[in-house]
Chains A and B, each alone.
Chain A
């Protein structure tokens, strides 16, 4: 399936894009991340959470095909 992924904060410095659509054939979020870790070295070292269809989900959640957001925590103030 085709999945749109948005990257927030410092993650865009690794992906060099804020948004992309990729082809994905697995079933859970963790598999999607494994695929992205191969595409982007360095992404695995970053802390982030995953939102699917604007809801934060665990990495064991099923991939539904809705938009995904990779969201790092910010510390600045």
Chain B
């Protein structure tokens, strides 16, 4: 064997046996952009034996500010193909598979099954949730990284029964709620820092050394150099809800990908309807009380224990102060298979305004 990997092999934590583990490992990199480039560079240099690179995008001049595998000769070329060419120049003793296509519900499971570890370097929530859910279904560890301007997040999800991305962020943000790098800009070195931390986690998983960043979300701020390590727990309900859709997974498409749609309703539609049970999901001490109508008080933290108090023959309409708790409560009830439930758009004080203005003196009693 040549001495390409000598600096690994002389580390007692790695040695020849560790280097052999790297050679036998199969890692899939989804996204060959700002995060993907440094990750791929270090995995290929380290001698990870089989690397898949997936990206359907082409290299543009504005990518070269941070996507370090590419140069002028790559402009206009597919990123997966261009990355493969550069990586084979770096290390031609490994196997690189380029997938110049988009990850979809139709191709994800079969592709992930061919790899040991999946790395997320994508730039949109649709694909991130698809990657996470596919990792749950195929039982693959997911090395996650994401950036925003000067800040980054890294975690290892779905590792040895650890939490998944959905355990941290259960619901996919609405459409363009969080802009991406092409819209708002990013400090070029930031994906280098975050991607390199991801590459480090991949190597630690393969080598079984150190503490893998599972159950923790590492948050980094490049401007202040502050790092915050947040801990998160696995939500069995969340994991189960993804495993339940396994058989229908390939029928999904990215635009309508699986998430609970919380039904919203206005108090105007609830007033006067005798077939509705109204729930105040706030804490008992919270003001203002809504008293002119019959309201059942169940604080959110007690909802799971008081499911039997709900009248399942009626529609259930839930309110709080801002609409946040009521939506959470509806999601909870839907998981209990109570589907005829709604979040009331208005908060308690607005509801009181409606009740005071209402001509009907007593509603729903």
Contact = CB atoms under 8 A, between A and B. Distances in A.
Question: A and B from one assembly?
Answer: yes
B147 A77 contact: yes
Contacts, number: 129
Contact of A47 (B31, B122, B173, B282): B173
B322 A76 contact: no
B88 interface: no
A73 interface: yes
A48 to B, nearest CB: 9
Interface in B98-146: 120-125, 128, 145-146
A71 B155 CA distance: 14
Nearest to A6: B228
B169 A47 contact: yes
Interface of B: 31, 33-36, 120-125, 128, 145-149, 151-153, 168-169, 171, 173-174, 177-181, 186, 191, 217, 219, 228-233, 282-283, 285-286, 299-301, 320-325, 328
Nearest to A44: B322
A73 B299 contact: no
Interface in A31-47: 31, 33-34, 37, 44-47
Contact of A27 (B149, B171, B283): B283
Given A10-B148, A33-B322, A73 B169 contact: yes
B199 to A, nearest CB: 14
A30 interface: yes
Interface residues of A, number: 33
* Residue in A10, A37, A75 with the greatest tally of chain B CB atoms within 10 Å: A75
Given A28-B301, A60-B328, 11 more contacts: A6-B228, A8-B219, A30-B324, A44-B323, A55-B230, A56-B233, A73-B169, A74-B178, A77-B33, A77-B35, A77-B36
Contact of B145 (A54, A55, A56, A77): A77
B177 A47 contact: yes
Contacts of A72: 148, 178
A75 B324 contact: no
B34 A77 contact: yes
Given A56-B217, A56-B232, A60-B299, A46 B177 contact: yes
Given A56-B230, A59-B300, A60-B300, A76 B147 contact: yes
